[in-house]
Amino acid sequence: MDHFPCSHALAAAREGNLDLTSLCADYYKRQTLIDAYSVPIMPVGHPSSWVVPSDIGNRVVLNPKTKSQLGHPMEGRHASFSERTTTHSCRRCGQSGHNSRRCSNPPLINEGPRRIFPEEYHLKCSICHKVGHNKQTYPDKESTVA
């Protein structure tokens, strides 16, 4: 291989007890980085002080020819199939497209609890299963504890 191997190649090399550094190009190895900075790097100075031969100074270097890819250009990156897309909405006004920090809309009026129970639903005591009180306000608490 002449590049940095992918995780699948590394896993296969580990399984086969191969040396992982032999799969990487020398460019990615630590010793190459150390060798690159072993010699002093001298500043080049201002471009007006450079001595450039006339045959090189007169050359016009154009951009490389590239083919544009077919299809509609991609706006951003494509989300992976495993990424979930969620729509976020403002906690202050409930609209999507901004957050509560950047919200310029008036806040919603709190209309009471969000959880609405049906009229026939009544909380019952978990000890005697009667309506009208709960475990904390059970009337005969002292007699059941003893």
> Mind listing the pLDDT tens digit for each residue in 23-41?
888 888 899 999 999 999 8
Select the more confidently predicted residue: 14 or 80: 14
Give per-residue pLDDT as tens, 108-125. 776 555 555 566 666 778
Q: Could you tell me what percent of the chain has a pLDDT over 90?
A: 12
Name the residue ranges covered by the structural domains of the chain: 1-37, 119-146
Predicted confidence at residue 1, as pLDDT, reads: 44
Please check the confidence at residue 83 and state whether its pLDDT lies above 80. no
This prediction has a pTM of: 0.29
Q: What is the pLDDT of residue 31?
A: 92
Task: Decide if 20 contacts 14 (C-beta within 8 A).
Answer: yes
Residue-averaged pLDDT of the chain: 80
